[in-house]
Structure 1
Amino acid sequence: MPPSSRTNAFARFPWWLLAIALIGVFTLWAIVADEGYNEIFITLQRGIAMTLWVTFVAFALAGLLGLVVAIARTSGNPWLVQIATFYVEIIRGIPILVALFYVAFVGAPAMVAAVNWLLTPFIDAGWLAAVTVRDFDFTWRAIVALTVCYSAFIAEIFRAGIEAVDRGQIEAARALGLSRWHTFRFIVAPQALRTILPPLGNDFVSMIKDSALVSALGVQDITQLGKVYSSGTFKFFETYNVVAFLYLTMTISLSLLVRWLEQRLKQSDRQ
């Protein structure tokens, strides 16, 4: 093999992935072999389901809301465009942690008050009981906050995908008599989907990491369980090693899946 080929092969090899894999193997060995690490893992693994539940539900809702906002931004209606743009710019400018606290401690009471106001006739008649703030679970408050925050970013991804479709195809579809809905369904959506899938995957990975913020509300995710365990045992180093290992396992696996998807899409485009 020529020296230049060996140099290129060395440069292309994913050494970063090998280094991460070695760290992962070392941490996994510590979890299996060390009793302290094993106890920490057993304690924290109960938070994996909560982390994934919050992430999947919030991302699905954010995707739906983001699609609505993106359609409004590309609708051509001046009022819808201005309202959707206002929403996106405001939400993207607020830190997620601030939005989390705002939804949990300002938005939730306001929503409960609004529901009670709407149901006043039924409550006065004794058919329904008044809703209290305690009825609004903190897990769902966290999900609502993540949904609102990520919907603004996802809306921009959808908007970019929609606007990437050649305008001539849309005009041709309308000229053939297709309605706006059918044009979107059969012409715009299939092509936009190929553009938005990779960035959507990256946003999903980011949401897994940002889901750790819900621990600020006491939601029993991986971070919260790690915080409680380490404060009781003072094993901060070992506990947060396991916390980092669990998050890295999820995020890197999904990142590799997104990269594979991008390569598949590029290959299909070339074909």
Structure 2
Amino acid sequence: MKYLYVCNTSSDSISKVDLDTFTEADKILLKNDFKRVGPHGICICNNCIFTANNYTNGISIVDINNKRNIENYTIGMHCNDVRIFKDTAYVICGNSNILAAFNLKEKKIETQIPCGSLPHSMHIDKIRNIMVIANMNDDSITMVDCKDNKVIKNIRVGAYPTKAIFSPNGDYIYVCESNLGLNSKGSIAIISLKNFQILNRVKVGNSPVDMFLDTKFCYVSNFGDGSVSIVDMANAKEIKVIRVGGMPRGIMRLKNYLYVGDNYNDLLMKINVASESKKVISIGGEPTGMTLI
């Protein structure tokens, strides 16, 4: 049995979705003490859910088994994303332009690493012990060595990058260049990890904001035109566009289906990749980050 956990940014909750029945099995409310929380990024480790919260400037930890928010920690201004590596929760803070390394055993921030302006998302290659961060406001990505918590390199990319992911084979970085607010389509940049050069750019839809990679394809949610682009990674070519409607944000694939959050209509969409048929369910407000377990 597979579950999808989705951050609902405007309703301060996490939806647990049963993918076998495609129903919302549970909704977990985050502690707010009458303040907005704004969960934006999410990951799961050791039977706990971690969320990076825009409005409380910190992280929340939820026990999966009893479905309760058990811990909250202040990290930095406008936390956008969180990932766990060994005993450390890495958190990017969008308004202070830092990557914070929070020691989960000692419950304290060990170090703060400068990155670019308005870091929005992050991805860790746990085999190579490296991280990549997409910095929206200065059109760059930052690579960090997780062994010594030092910046390896800053790389210039296209306008308003929202996401950067290592390819499954570890040879490339894929960057979602959103071009938000500009009168042009966005693109996926393919960067070599050998020389850090941009090898190719693939035009996709309007304002792409998120993507998911498998071994052959890159699936891109185009926030501005209600579509999903499918990119053939080997040939660096957009091979299919699926019109889904709304404002697609978070995206994941499992077997024959894409799961896409509609940020405008507060829906989760289940889309058959082959037939393009679509089912929807209502979840919380502004579904954003998502993860599978």
Which structure carries more helix by proportion? 1
The structure that is strand-richer by fraction is 2
TM-score range for the pair, normalised by the shorter chain length? under 0.3
Q: If you compute each CA radius of gyration, which structure gives the higher value, 1 or 2?
A: 1
Larger relative CO (CA 8 A, sep 6+): 1 or 2? 1
TM-score by length of 2: 0.20
Q: TM-score, normalised by structure 1?
A: 0.21
